[in-house]
Amino acid sequence: MSVSEKIGETDKTTVVPVALDDRSYEIVIGAGLIDEAGGRIARLRPGAAVAIVSDETVAKLHLPRLEQSLAASNIRAKSILIPPGEHSKNFASLERVVASILDAKIERGDFVIALGGGVVGDLAGFAAAVARRGVDFVQIPTTLLAQVDSSVGGKTGINTKQGKNLVGAFHQPALVLADISLLDTLPAREFRAGYAEVVKYGLIGDAPFFEWLESSRSQVFAGPGRARAVAQSCRHKAAIVGRDERESGERALLNFGHTFGHALETATGFSDRLRHGEAIAIGMVLASRLSAELGFCGADVEQRTATHFQAAGLPTRLQDIPGELPDADAMLALMGQDKKVRRGALTFILTKGIGKAFVQPDVEPEPVRRMLEEAIRN
């Protein structure tokens, strides 16, 4: 599960192509890329203007450098700021961002730039998808989670009271600039949350990558292993997206742990009680447990997964989530809103072992309920 890699302008820059015919684009991975953004965008589309969508926290850290880079390439830019956090992924924020894009007279030949983490990328991408019936956009992800997952693949959207990311559109970026030096400003909790999505790629289809993470996790956290972890994760996602852009089959594997995780995020009100990556870490442990209980793998898969997440400082049990949680029946009801549900039947991403995930449709609710009841007790 890999795609070809080519080396960019220096031996410290990696370029991973996402092959989607006329919607193909590149993920550029390296340090200092935010300072090159203006030149790269100018070469991508000479004369284009941009609207930068960012949150207030990221803007204080990184927006001046981006604006300076754009100005150096004579690119007209308008910055649009939103409050940080998952609560900004809603209809009200979408309306405000779209209105600001139109007020800035951004045309269909211009760009929207998403400067931030997954929330900013999802919201800005969706706004770009609907403004003037489609404006191209550039992802400059500033979190580990966004660099390895949400910035790649074209999924955009917002949350509703019914669940996470239930309103949105597929809208591929024109370019992704994954500047790994920006990760130095991440709070430790945010970095850990993003690391869960890195581990996911090993768990779903690359046992050797998972083994490398087991032995080299400290290098990823300290810095020397970050470029390799981001590049390998992006190769996996690019390959899957290239084969299944709209999640009609194989791309669903990228949702390993997400049926449980999204339900937990909804149950905790998309709050600081639970970051997305934390929810997915717990979800992957639960998916491994369900796989074992349904006879697809041994209990060692759950244990090995949980041990690695615990070593990384991530939660692995429902009891690790502060505050009250719904009962098993209420959790099942939340899972019923999952985008993989077909004609009311639950579909899970399960596993036959490390690196051997698969799509299992039509899972009966009773074994899931029993497992959740046990997980709530223990």
Q: Is 111 a member of any domain? A: yes
Q: Can 133 be counted among the known catalytic residues?
A: yes
Could you tell me the residue range of the domain that residue 258 belongs to? Answer: 188-377
More confident residue, 11 or 80: 80
Instruction: Write down which residue in 159, 184, 209 finishes a domain.
Output: 184
Res 168: pLDDT: 97
Decide if 258 is catalytic: yes
pLDDT category at 236 given cuts 50, 70, 90 is very high
Domain presence at residue 163: yes
In the structure, what pLDDT confidence band is assigned to residue 344 with cuts at 50, 70 and 90? low
Please tell me the pTM assigned to this model.
0.93
- 258 shares a domain with 207: yes
Residue 197 annotated as catalytic: yes
The catalytically annotated residue of 62, 89, 200, 237 is: 237
Q: Please give the span between the terminal C-alpha atoms of the chain, in angstroms, as a whole number.
A: 36
Please check whether residue 138 lies inside any domain of the structure. yes
Exactly one of 89, 262, 275, 339 is catalytic; which is it? 262
Q: Considering the domain boundaries, does residue 1 fall inside one?
A: no
Residues 119-154 have pLDDT tens digits of 999 999 999 999 999 999 999 999 999 999 999 999
pLDDT confidence tier of residue 343, bands split at 50, 70 and 90: low
308 has catalytic annotation: no
Q: Name the catalytic one among 192, 226, 245, 255.
A: 255
Of 164, 236, 258, 289, the catalytic one is 258
Give a yes or no: residue 273 inside a domain. yes
Give the chain's domain count. Answer: 2
Is 171 in the active site?
no
CA distances from 79 to 38, 85, 106 (A): 14, 18, 12
Q: Which of 341, 189, 173, 190 is nearest to 255 (CA)?
A: 341
Query: Residues 348, 263: contact at Cβ < 8 Å?
Result: no
Say whether both 42 and 142 belong to one domain: yes
274-327 tens-digit pLDDT = 999 999 999 999 999 999 999 999 999 999 999 999 999 999 999 999 999 999
So what's the pLDDT on residue 345? 75
Q: Domain holding 14: CATH number?
A: 3.40.50.1970
Residue 80 in 3-state DSSP?
strand
- What integer best gives the mean pLDDT of the chain? 94
Identified catalytic residue from 171, 251, 289, 308: 251
**Which one from 67, 86, 190, 197 is the annotated catalytic residue?**
197
Q: For residues 193 and 144, give the distance between their C-alpha atoms in angstroms, rounded to a whole number.
A: 8
Is 255 considered catalytic here? yes
Residue 109 within any structural domain of the chain: yes
119 and 266 assigned to the same domain: no
**Active-site position among 217, 235, 276, 289:** 276
% residues pLDDT > 70 (the chain): 96
Same domain for 94 and 226 = no
Boundary (domain end) residue, out of 160, 184, 208: 184
Q: Which of 62, 89, 155, 339 is catalytic?
A: 155
Burial of residue 179 (number of CB atoms within 10 Å: 0-12, 13-18, 19+): buried
203 and 309 fall within a common domain:
yes
- In the residue annotation, 247 being an active-site residue is answered as yes
Residues 344 and 252 in one domain: yes
Residue ending a domain, choose from 184, 202, 227: 184
Angle ∠(141,146,148) on CA atoms, nearest 5: 110
